[in-house]
Amino acid sequence: MPLLQVDSDGLWCEAGGFHIDPWNPVPKALLTHGHSDHARPGSHAYLAGDPSRGVLRLRLGPEAHIETLPYGAPLTLGATRVSFHPAGHVLGSAQIRVECRGEVWVVSGDYKLSPDPTCQPFEPVRCHTFITESTFGLPIYRWDPAPQVFDSINAWWRSNREQGLCSVLFAYPLGKSQRLLAGLDPAIGPLFCHGAMEKMNAVYREAGVPLPETAFTGEPVRGKSWSGAMVIAPPSAQGSSWMRRFGPVSTAMASGWMRIRGRRRHRPMDRGFVLSDHADWPELQQAIHETGAETILVTHGYREPMVRWLTGLGKQARSLETRFDAEDAE
Ligand SMILES: [Zn+2]
Ligand SMILES: [Zn+2]
């Protein structure tokens, strides 16, 4: 029997008696990170990497039984030893290493290799079997360096300010928003966040991640000018009545999906900035190579192209079906 396999609730480890990122409530859930396609509520007990404690508390509620381990610290569960290692995706995100009788598997969760000042960098972990995500597993996905992307976002904000417009930038509340805040130039104007972001910003600040000062957008105030301000909001706020308070706006979205025009499935926006918290095609290749794994299981996103590419390199590779393919997540 393989060390990890998919059952009706998620990725199951018989030898250790736990699931990883299960989609149904289970007795014991090990979590890679706090995004909603990975951290589902209702399980009896959770185990995750230390820096994700605040994120998971916010996501899973005050009653959830959450234990955490420092990165790299091993814990014995049944016949296995498990440990969490930085994945570079969002605050607290982890790859999960599972060892049993000399055999080592690593479950990547979501990851990226590009630098991000809001979380610990991805750490390659040697293993026999690597379960990798493949959200952007097509050769067309190649990210520009983040500083270059931030230069264009700041230039867009500056130009909106000069035209008396409010800039509204849509991004996912966990991870992407804080990465944006860390890369924006607060000298350009005041920074405001939708309530969904402000709660997560507080968790990041408590964890010691430096973010510029932000204010909650709050209730609409008659006569208040938003000219020159930058507002970070969740994609769900697009086109809602919540937007009306800002007066004349320029809108943009920051996401890896902005790479492909045809994939701009959200309402039309003035700008799309290509910024992802997932590995692009070269990063996926590099990460897989550095594990030294001879067997690679591919999950999330473009699985088949990645399996074909790996098989062509002489590796054992196959697609691993999961409940959430999460093409729009993050
Ligand atoms: Zn994620
Ligand atoms: Zn995901």
327 — pLDDT class (breaks 50, 70, 90): very low
Compute, in angstroms, the gap from residue 33 CA to the centroid of ligand 1. Answer: 7
- Strands 5-7 and 10-13 turn out to be antiparallel
Q: What does the alpha-carbon distance between residue 35 and residue 110 come to, in Å, rounded to a whole number?
A: 9
Residue 81: pLDDT over 50: yes
Cα(1) to ligand 1 centroid in Å equals 29
Å from CA of 49 to ligand 2 middle: 16
**pTM to 2 decimals?**
0.95
- Please name the amino acid found at residue 321: E
Helical (H) or strand (E) element with 42: none
pLDDT confidence tier of residue 324, bands split at 50, 70 and 90? low
Question: Please, what sign has the CA dihedral across residues 129, 133, 138, 142?
Answer: negative
Mind listing the pLDDT tens digit for each residue in 255-273? 988 877 655 555 678 999 9
Kindly report, residue by residue over 154-174, the tens digit of the pLDDT: 999 999 999 999 999 999 999
pLDDT at 329 over 70: no
Please report which ligand is nearest the Cα atom of 112. Answer: 1
Residue-level pLDDT at 268: 76
Predicted confidence (pLDDT) per residue in 89-126, tens digit = 999 999 999 999 999 999 999 999 999 999 999 999 99
Ligand 2 mean position to 217 CA, how many Å? 28
Q: Phi and psi (nearest 5°) for 52?
A: -95, 5
Mean pLDDT of the chain: 94
Give the confidence band of 325 by pLDDT, cuts at 50, 70, 90.
low
Over residues 201-248, the pLDDT tens digits come to: 999 999 999 999 999 998 878 888 999 999 999 999 988 999 999 999
- State the virtual CA torsion across 236, 242, 245, 246 in degrees, nearest 10: -10
Q: Provide the pLDDT for residue 328.
A: 46
Which CATH code fits 5-141+278-319? 3.60.15.10
Centroid of ligand 2 to alpha carbon of 9 (angstroms): 16
Same fold for the domain at 5-141+278-319 and the one at 146-273? no
The single-letter DSSP state of residue 128 is: S
Instruction: List the domain boundaries for the chain.
Output: 5-141+278-319, 146-273
Q: Which of 149, 225, 222, 220 is nearest to 189 (CA)?
A: 225
Among all ligands shown, which has an atom nearest to the Cα of 92?
1
- How far, in Å, is the centroid of ligand 1 from the Cα of 322? 14
pLDDT in tens, 33-71: 999 999 999 999 999 999 999 999 999 999 999 999 999
Residue range 146-273 forms a domain whose CATH class is alpha beta
Dist. CA 109 → ligand 2 center (Å): 7
